[in-house]
Chains A and B, each alone.
Chain A
Amino acid sequence: MTLKLGVPSKGRLMDKTFDWFGERGITLERTGSEREYAGRVEGIQGVSLILLSAGEIPRELAAGRIHLGVTGTDLIHEKLALWQQLVTPIEKLGFGHADLIIAVPQCWIDVDTLDDLDAAAAAFRAEHGHRLRIATKYHRLVREFLREHGVADYTLVDSQGATEGTVANETAEAIADITSTGETLRANHLKILTDALVLQSQATLWHSRTAPFDTAETEALAILMEKLHGGRAVTARQSPPVPD
């Protein structure tokens, strides 16, 4: 069978991923019409391109339905518990940089650190009768981070988009979200807490530890690795694990 490579199916992330592989002599392209999610690989034998939503790539890697996949560190960490047992990072691709941060209104001049956030949350709960709400889609990462840092009296509320707007709309008091330049935060009168960098993320090529590799797929992987590393030998870490 062929080695299955999962790549984001649209947008800048797809274009940049195509460029990155192109620079290494592997041409990835979409085939058919604009709207059809089919792809082709040239410059290497035995590799097939699977176009997927970036958010689904972690699940497909974990299930072993694709051998390799490109997606952000944030999505891998959020969606896969014990991700180290399921996937291995092969290469950081150097784009799609984003930080998962916690932000509060700029007018909160008394809140600059997690310590302040915790104290403000306690006072807020006493005043309003409910916990301080933090809007996010990264529930697991944010909860673990806040527990590790001993922040209490908050609750996470789900926000799958336009998260920066939740504070002005009074559906949340603070947010935890991905930012690259911080411009959207500033436009919404929010500021980043100085010690609340939950995760630094970038687009990364991952290797599934659960996908079975047959002889042809193992060979295709070795050739792919050689191309990616400009002829450098494949290290042990990058060779596929023996399926149980």
Chain B
Amino acid sequence: MPTRSQTLAKATSLRSMFETQGAALVEPPILQPADTLLDLYGEDIRARAYVTSDALRGEQMLRPDFTVPVVQMHMAHGADPARYTYAGEVFRRQEDDPARANEYIQVGYEVFDRTDPAAADAEVFALISEALSGLQVTPVTGDIGVLLAAVDGLQTTDARKKALMRHIWRPKRFRQLLERYAGRAPMPKTRAALLAGEVTAQTPVIGKRAQSEIDTRIEALRSDAASPPISTREVDLIEGLLDLKGTMPQVLGRLRDLAMDLPQIQESVARVALREAALKARGINTETLMFEASFGRSSMEYYDGFVFGFRSEMRPDLPAIASGGRYDALTRQLGHGGEIPAVGGVMRPGLMLELEGAA
């Protein structure tokens, strides 16, 4: 195991590499206000982050990642375009696997640039790939934007599309919803009784959720029951898309075929192709680069476009050595009316040293 000072020295050298690329150094505080993170990630973040509190500032979290504070800082007073780098500890609760570190050093690089998203994606990926050269790691890429576009273009109601979009990052739930909207899952008896008007409340309305909200939902359920199911053909196409994996050339071929039947993904598939060209221009061998359509779906992050991760084949027990992606929507959510295309990635110098030591 590398010592802490070895890890810090490695982190500093990686950070200098990004500074050489013109990135400004940022150092967000370790204690972050809990409300922003809770609002973004919900209860899941409590299972992943350490929460502490004092009587003055209320709940705070030990920085579980750098992206959110960097985005907040950029949206408040950042230059346009801007590039940032940072190195420091992040803290993650580990309640299931004692072998996983609950405190480790991350080095990151974030690009806020409107001019050429494909080039920015390739820039982040190529710099991290270069920093990892010499290590036995394998990259996987994906694109959440293709999935979002596919759902957005389904021949069904906006309410269903919205519900599916909301659960893109929860694969099991997503599949259940899709099955239900396709009319493949039976309606629960209680739901049928409710829609038939057989259920009435004899009890007082208590709590903050008002009668009008209950009525609105019943109305929404009625209108959903009256809507035709999503066609088997569309469900099969979506499921085919979700299962898609292979090398970049293989997947691009398949995506172009799928786009004939799912015209809504044409633009996002074109973006994948542009990115492939940009990666090639950066010297990445895309012939062997893996692409998995569902990659990044079960991560907690708010990635909505390009996603990537580097793992060690020799040490499959280790978490990703580096990972990242595009998070345009996050800049909108934290931007108070502003927004900017953004992409970034992080590396774990401690794991890199561990792999170097083993080689």
Chain A residues in contact with chain B, CB under 8 A? 81-82, 105-110, 112-113, 115-116, 118-120, 122-124, 127-128, 131-132, 139-140, 143-144, 146-147, 149-150, 152-156, 167-168, 170, 172-173, 189, 194
Contact = CB atoms under 8 A, between A and B. Distances in A.
B317 interface: no
Given A113-B190, A170-B208, A122 B170 contact: no
Given A109-B201, A152-B167, A120 B188 contact: no
A154 B43 contact: yes
Interface of B: 38, 42-44, 46-47, 95-96, 98, 163, 166-167, 170, 172-174, 176, 188, 190-191, 194, 199-201, 203-209, 211, 213-214, 216-218, 221
A143 B303 CA distance: 23
Contacts of A120: 209, 213, 217
A127 B172 CA distance: 26
Contact of B213 (A118, A123, A146, A172): A123
A155 B45 CA distance: 11
A112 B190 contact: yes
Contacts of A147: 43-44, 47
Contacts of B208: 128, 170, 173
Contacts of B38: 155
Contacts of B201: 106-107, 109
A152 B207 contact: no
A148 B269 CA distance: 32
B307 to A, nearest CB: 20
Contact of A110 (B163, B170, B173, B217): B217
A81 B42 contact: no
B41 to A, nearest CB: 10
A115 B176 CA distance: 10
A151 to B, nearest CB: 8
Contact of B214 (A81, A110, A113): A110
A22 B208 CA distance: 50
A150 B180 CA distance: 15
Contacts of A155: 38, 42-43
A147 B206 CA distance: 27
A124 B213 contact: yes
A109 B96 contact: no
B234 to A, nearest CB: 21
A112 B199 CA distance: 11
A143 B46 contact: yes
Nearest to B215: A110
Nearest to A154: B43
B173 A167 contact: no
Contact of A119 (B43, B46, B163, B174): B163
A108 B214 contact: yes
Nearest to B173: A150
